[in-house]
Amino acid sequence: MPATTPTTPPATLALPSGVPHLLRAVERYFARLGSQFAAAVTYFSVLAVIPVMLFLFSLAGVVLTVARPDLLEPVAAAVADAIGSADPAARQQILDLISSALGNWRATSVVTIISAAYAGAGWMGNLKNAVRAQWRPEFDLQDNPGGNIVVATLKGYAVNLVQLLALVLAMLVTFSLASVSTSLTGTVLEALGLADVGWLRPVLRLLPVVFSIGAGFVLFLYLYTVLPETKERRSVVRRGALVGAVGLAVLQYLSTFLIGRFSGNPAFAIFGSVIALMLFFNLFARLILFMAAWIATADHPAAPVREGEAAEEVVRFPMVGAEDPAPPPAKPVAAVRGRGSGWLLGTATGAGLGAAVTWWLVRRR
């Protein structure tokens, strides 16, 4: 029998460990309808803004008519000045309307509280379902609470409302720190008498950014601890929360820059605030869901492989022994475009459309 020469396997390109993980996260995000869930969260976010604004208006009425009635006239005058009415009669009518609306908080408080609580709890429930769709091992696995459906529904709304209040508190802290980092640096330096010290200005600009990322880290850590049904490794959750916090900080400063850049544009002044709000909600929802997919695929495949499928793969490709016939030659097949190319194509198309809209708004100024 002639001696056989051992063959060496062909050299393969070794990828960094994070690249396969990223590809698994991208595959799960699109396979679990991440963009569609983000669009749904955006819709419910905009829908919940009106009841929340009515609730805040009622709360302002409580503060300005009960706690601090001395501030009612200055606030009404500031609103009338912002509207810009030159007619004294029209200005007085605006002042009377504001005072009457704020003083009628008792009649509207109950309705606004109920509507805001219902809309907010529903929004939190939709966000929870979207995160769990990316997190659970199998996409079609649904939780069944069992028991009385009415009691389970009311309990779910109560839990969602408590979780929403904690989330709103974390978001207020995050956005407050971002606002401080962009607008109050000069004021702090002048108040401390250190405006002439050059090296303190970049330090004061950097510290609020660090605090904002820290608050965002707490926000994402809270989301990925409370919303999912199952728990993942804490180290992976912390890394995902940190990456999400950095992405949220970039999104915040980008939104602030764009709003300040186009605030003087007449076309942007009409629809810009609504468009900017919807864009922020959509990108924020996409960030939350993608990082949930990234955390969930750290130790698991993008799509679970069942035992029957694994056995079928073993039978389909048996081991070739010394006495077995050689396998048939491979036939060329047409390549199939994968999700990665479609994802890159969609990203490039979105970036091009965004650049075109930005160029058009600059030309309109």
**DSSP assignments along 168-194, one per residue:** HHHHHHHHHHHHHHHHSHHHHHHHHT-
Tokens of 186: 């000069």
SS3 228: coil
Q: CA 254 to CA 270: how far, in whole Å? A: 20
Kindly give the parts of the chain with pLDDT less than 70: 1-17, 80, 82-87, 91, 141-147, 174-175, 177-186, 188-189, 194-198, 200-201, 263-264, 266-270, 300-365
Q: Phi-psi region for residue 146, left (φ > 0), alpha (ψ -120 to 50) or beta? A: left
First-to-final CA distance of the chain: 85
Task: Give residue-wise pLDDT tens across range 64-89.
Answer: 777 777 777 777 777 767 665 556 77
pLDDT at 5: 56
pLDDT at 189: 67
CB within 8 Å of 99: residues ≥ 6 apart: 72, 76
pLDDT at 10: 53
pLDDT at 256: 78
Contact 170, 214 (CB under 8 A): no
Compute and round to an integer the Cα radius of gyration of the chain. Answer: 28
CB within 8 Å of 188: residues ≥ 6 apart: 204
Q: CA 251 to CA 243: how far, in whole Å? A: 12
Look at residues 300, 291, 282 and name the one whose alpha carbon lies nearest to residue 41. 282
Domain ranges of the chain: 25-302
Q: Where are the beta strands (DSSP E) in 55-111?
A: none
pLDDT at 313: 40
Contact 131, 223 (CB under 8 A): yes
Q: CA 308 to CA 319: how far, in whole Å? A: 19
* Number of Cβ atoms within 10 Å of the Cβ of 99: 17
pLDDT at 75: 76
pLDDT at 284: 92
pLDDT at 100: 76
